[in-house]
Amino acid sequence: MDFELSDPVKALKARLESFMDAYVYPAEAEYFATLKDSDRWRVPPIMEKLKAAAKSEGLWNLFLSDPDLGAGLCNLEYAPLCEIMGRSLIAPSVFNCNAPDTGNMEVLSTYGTPAQKEAWLVPLLAGEIRSAFAMTEPAVASSDATNIEAHIEREGDSYRINGRKWWITNAAHPDCKILIVMGKSDPSAPRHRQQSQILVPMDTPGVRIVRRLTAFGYDDAPYGHCELDFKDVRVPAKNVILGEGRGFEVAQGRLGPGRIHHCMRLIGLSERALEDMCRRARERTAFGCSLADHGTVRQDIALCRAEIEQARLLVLQAADRMDRVGGKEARAEIAMIKVVVPNMAQRVIDRAIQVHGAGGFSDGFGLAEAWSSARTLRMADGPDAVHIETVAKMELRKYN
């Protein structure tokens, strides 16, 4: 299988790498230092400077395959760029390629009406606002999207929404202006036609942030993962996406590319953890020699390199297959990467933490937060168990 990039994409990749070296990596310390101030929930000023520089360099909305809106790349071409951005926890936002905004922009560009695009896609593409995707609920196992119970009821020329959502990323961001909410609009319809997705402005009466959640102690300011309450929230009927009862269809279309993005970003994060691990092993001495001279450390380094390479090839294969045959036919590959890559990243980062000793647990090296990110990705966009079940079912069908 040939994964050779075209010359224009190679040039774009080189520009992105240069920008990361010149702007993003040097800005990380200032960015995270700002978040230690008393007001953690404001956007660090350095971020707006970085975004302006990225936009001026044409490194903006790289994820969109529509050349009129983004870079016009296919999944396979975007994958290595996504890996580069994944090396820094702040980089995706710098280039307006951050989840969940990427998925929401893809939904609006694919399924949105002209009015919906004008109101919400245009400012999202410009990086002027942020958005959130409200699907997961505390009262049901949201790994099965058909379980979602938030009520979306048609009342004349509007919809009324009631329900509770949680782990809604971006909802605490000061620039979050729009939610895509998934809920049940017709409980009597066939199982996959009961759900709808609808646009809900964040300032709509009845929308309330109940609390900001932490993952392993990290609050991910200024984005946040929130529990939201919807009480008699009313929005116009024109806010429904694609049509009533088509929420599951929209969700499936949204998640395929998103899973590839998540996995490639994690590969970038794993690469950086391995680099940190090797540098630390060279610098530190224990029991009369450098850590790099200890067999157990060398073994861990070798395993990290082998596992990263394996995972990368699997994701590139999934991206290539998705480009050629579509998400539905590439379901097995997409499910496999969603299991393999976060688990790989967890192992690699854990080994890097071990080489850093007690310092690896602190916020001084970024490894603890990186590990938390990898662990949460084993649940986001569908837990491991669901994807393993998908792969097993598809494999067993070959023997019917």
Q: Over the stretch 313-334, which tens digit does the pLDDT of each residue have?
A: 999 999 999 999 998 899 999 9
Do 213 and 278 belong to one domain? no
Return left, alpha or beta for 224; rule: phi > 0 is left, psi -120 to 50 is alpha, else beta.
left
Calpha distance 103→336 (Å, rounded)? 20
Given 207, 241, 275, the domain boundary residue is 241
Q: What is the mean pLDDT of the chain?
A: 95
118 in any annotated domain: no
The domain of 56 spans 7-98
pLDDT of residue 36 exceeding 90: no
pLDDT of residue 181 exceeding 80: yes
Token pair belonging to 42: 């404001």
pLDDT tens digits, 245-274: 999 899 887 877 889 999 999 999 999 999
Which residues, in sequence order, are CB contacts of 91 under 8 Å at separation 6+? 20, 24, 84, 85
Do 233 and 347 belong to one domain? no
Please count the structural domains in the chain: 3
pLDDT at position 203: 98
Q: Kindly list the distances between the CA atom of residue 219 and the CA atoms of 86, 213, 369, 378, in Å, as whole numbers in the listed order.
A: 19, 6, 10, 18
Do 299 and 371 belong to one domain? yes
- Band the pLDDT of 2: cuts 50, 70, 90: low
Do 267 and 386 belong to one domain? yes
The letter for the amino acid at 66 is D
pLDDT at position 90: 97
Q: Kindly list the distances between the CA atom of residue 284 and the CA atoms of 172, 287, 332, 350, in Å, as whole numbers in the listed order.
A: 40, 10, 43, 18
Residue tagged 């949201």 (tokens): 142
Calpha distance 49→65 (Å, rounded)? 26
Residue tagged 């058909």 (tokens): 146
Given 82, 98, 114, the domain boundary residue is 98
326 in any annotated domain: yes
Mean pLDDT of 111-120: 98
Question: Cα-flanking dihedrals φ and ψ of residue 243, to 5°?
Answer: 145, 155
Do 252 and 395 belong to one domain? yes
Q: Classify the C-alpha dihedral 53-102-74-389 as positive or negative.
A: positive
From the list 244, 217, 97, 92, the residue with the least C-alpha distance to 159 is: 244
Do 254 and 395 belong to one domain? yes
Do 315 and 335 belong to one domain? yes
89-101 core/surface letters (b: 16 or more CB in 10 A; e: else): bbbbbbbbbbbbb
Calpha distance 73→87 (Å, rounded)? 20
286 in any annotated domain: yes
Q: Which of 113-127, 134-148, 249-263, 323-337: highest mean pLDDT?
A: 113-127
Q: Is 300 helix (H, G, I), strand (E, B) or coil?
A: helix
Do 259 and 392 belong to one domain? yes
255 vs 102, higher pLDDT = 102
The CATH number of residue 80's host domain is 1.10.540.10
Do 223 and 301 belong to one domain? no
pLDDT tens digits, 339-383: 999 999 999 999 999 999 999 999 889 999 999 999 999 998 889
Calpha distance 128→117 (Å, rounded)? 14
292 in any annotated domain: yes
